[in-house]
Chains A and B, each alone.
Chain A
Amino acid sequence: MKLPDKKGHFGVFGGKYVPETLMTALDELEREYAAAKKDKKFRKLLDYYLSDFAGRPSVLYYARRLTEKLKGPKIYLKREDLNHTGSHKINNTLGQGLLTLRMGKKRIIAETGAGQHGVATATVAALFGLECEVFMGEEDIKRQALNVFRMRLLGSKVTSVSSGSKTLKDAMNEAMRDWVTNVRSTHYCIGSVAGPHPFPMMVRDFQSVIGKETKRQILKLEGRLPDYLLACVGGGSNSMGLFYNFFNDKKVKFIGVEAAGRGLSTGLHAATLEKGEVGVLHGSKSYLLQDKAGQVKIAHSISAGLDYPGVGPEHAYFKSIGRAKYVSVTDDEALDAFQLLSETEGIIPALESSHAIAYLAKHARKHKKSDIVVVCLSGRGDKDVDMVSKALASRKR
């Protein structure tokens, strides 16, 4: 059976846990998305923007020097970092931007952690002439100054959120509050496979172009499917985008890499699937970092894009049926991988994507040489160089 079901459930996960005010907007979005999906003109228009504006397809690149260095499997990088705006986020915002126009709404809002989704939304807003406001935690505004400036340059308003942990979770709270208030004129462009139905399904579909291309490309390059797909998981959109089209290819194993922050035992991490429990936050039922009383815990990761105590419901489902394995690497390991990829391949990865590289570096030797691994390089690291230089300096001390 195709998931989610009619009510937006992936097994026991997903659903619509939102205030009544939003229910009608979600129904409208669901209808509009279903109609758009069947509409050839819409699909053609989206394809046009994906290719001519975002620069798709992104290349699948054989990382020869990294492969040699790690002495493990043959490594391919799906270069989402080469998309316009520097990450996979544009795949989704182009889709939702076109939907916003279709629904006749004039304003678009978004939450952002690392700023990649914020920049991708601001870009699409500029492209389509929409008013745009991006909510971002005060803490993230500090660590991602470059992206804040980019959003403002693109004509968007960036609103600092200083409640709670001052990061992605709180930015999402504030975006939902704005949406409840301005729902008649505004579309909330959720940036991950999270939130209430239909977002997890819709964002997955828009991101599934990653896996679709990868399949075609690897068959052409290798004549066979890969053994492993590897991607970082915060909310989980780049990983779901890569995994989804391989769901029925049972021999292709999925590995999602979460942020272990300062270490799983310290409690300062964002390993929701590994360490969390089932709960409801931001509109859907999934895994959640929470305390015994059901209060949401503050996540920690050096990477702002992974610094989130929840995760998309379809990942929770994949975990529950054993379709994907979820693991984690620490801040330090991600920093090492950030440098490793820069030095061996001349590619500076985003700190988020560095988590996937780090897991591979750690476990490469367990693989057969004949194994093929595709890693989703979800974004580029320009936004992180300041943060990384500080972290490396403090490590030397």
Chain B
Amino acid sequence: MNRIDKKFKELKKKKQKALIAFLTAGDFGLSTTKKLVLEFDRRGVDIIELGVPFSDPVADGPTIQASSERALKRGTKLKDIIKLVKDLRRSTCIPVILMGYYNPVLKYGLKKFVSDCAGNGVDGVIIPDLPPDEAEDLVAEAKKRDFATIFLLSPTSTPDRIRLVSKKSKGFIYYVSLTGITGARANLPKELASRVRLIKRYSDKPVCVGFGVSRPGQVREIAKMAEGVIVGSAIVKEIEKNSKRKDFIKLVGDYVQKLAEASHQ
């Protein structure tokens, strides 16, 4: 069984919800990314989402755009990120998902991408500019290797699209809480609970909610309706803010621990 499926099974038994933490790989260096992932694992994060930096991140707000730029300036490449996961697998079995735009994956080669990922301990992939409609080849390759393809749903998705995305998703469904780009927001959208209920009417796969989530209170609220909560920009901001501090890793760890505790209550 894939590490992601196993994780959701485990959490279900404990009646807990998953806290999924996003960070851009290579932001402040890949060795920093490694330290942060291990710290996140110790602090109770359930699943790691590693951002693969891209030159033109159209679904991202200023925070993740800036982290992408920083990582690219350091020369971070997809192959190095996969290597990092291989290295991480010596010390942790936390599920790791790559999240990145399609072109670097396409350039890497779909078949090679899936086989290198699956062979080195990457559990799945989220590609925000690759809807299932264009993902036949990826899904076919992923099936061969028990590799999770996580597709997204949004507030504008119709029942037809919910059915399609649910059918093609493996691991979980990523529900984008709002119409917009990534970035912390003060409030959760009012329609969130009803939208998640709508998805659940058509799908029995775990639903995780992301975009705009930054506070433990918001995490608690989402944990009441979905199987997991994804926090991205807020963590990236925390990393950026503390990067020059001596106890940098610990400070970011303190922050994600609060989020993890909120999702496990």
Contact, CB under 8 Å: A19 / B129: yes
8 A Cβ contacts from B73-124 to A: 77-78, 102-108
Complex CA distance for A22 and B161, rounded to whole angstroms? 12
Complex CA distance for A211 and B131, rounded to whole angstroms? 35
Contact, CB under 8 Å: A17 / B155: no
Known: A15-B134, A280-B129. A177 touches B104 (CB 8 A): no
Complex CA distance for A396 and B180, rounded to whole angstroms? 50
Known: A18-B131, A19-B128, A177-B181. A296 touches B107 (CB 8 A): no
Interface presence of A11 (CB below 8 A): no
Q: Which residues of B contact A293 (CB under 8 A)?
A: 77-78, 104, 107
Chain A nearest Cβ from B137, distance in angstroms: 11
Contact, CB under 8 Å: B55 / A292: no
Chain A nearest Cβ from B25, distance in angstroms: 13
- How big is chain B's contact interface, by range? 35 or more
Complex CA distance for A163 and B62, rounded to whole angstroms? 9
Chain B nearest Cβ from A281, distance in angstroms: 6
- Identify the stretch in B29-37, B146-154, B247-255, B257-265 within 8 Å (CB) of chain A at 4 or more residues: B146-154
Interface string of B3-41 (1 = CB under 8 A from A): 000000000000000000000000000000000000000
Chain B nearest Cβ from A111, distance in angstroms: 12
Question: Which residue of chain A has the shortest Cβ distance to B174 in the bound complex?
Answer: A20
Contact, CB under 8 Å: B151 / A19: no
Chain A nearest Cβ from B16, distance in angstroms: 27
Interface presence of B223 (CB below 8 A): no
- Identify the stretch in A38-46, A178-186, A354-362, A386-394 within 8 Å (CB) of chain B at 4 or more residues: A178-186
Complex CA distance for A176 and B103, rounded to whole angstroms? 17
Complex CA distance for A281 and B103, rounded to whole angstroms? 7
Q: Which of A19, A25, A292, A295 contacts B58 (CB 8 A)?
A: A19
Chain A nearest Cβ from B190, distance in angstroms: 15
Q: Which residues of A contact B72 (CB under 8 A)?
A: 295
Contacts A19-B128, A20-B176, A180-B179 given; 19 further ones with Cβ under 8 A?
Answer: A15-B134, A20-B128, A20-B131, A20-B154, A20-B156, A20-B165, A21-B156, A21-B180, A22-B156, A23-B131, A23-B156, A169-B56, A181-B181, A281-B56, A282-B58, A290-B103, A292-B107, A294-B54, A295-B104
- Using a CB–CB cutoff of 8 Å, the interface residues on chain B facing chain A are 54-59, 61, 65, 72, 77-78, 102-108, 128-131, 133-134, 151-158, 161, 165, 176, 179-181
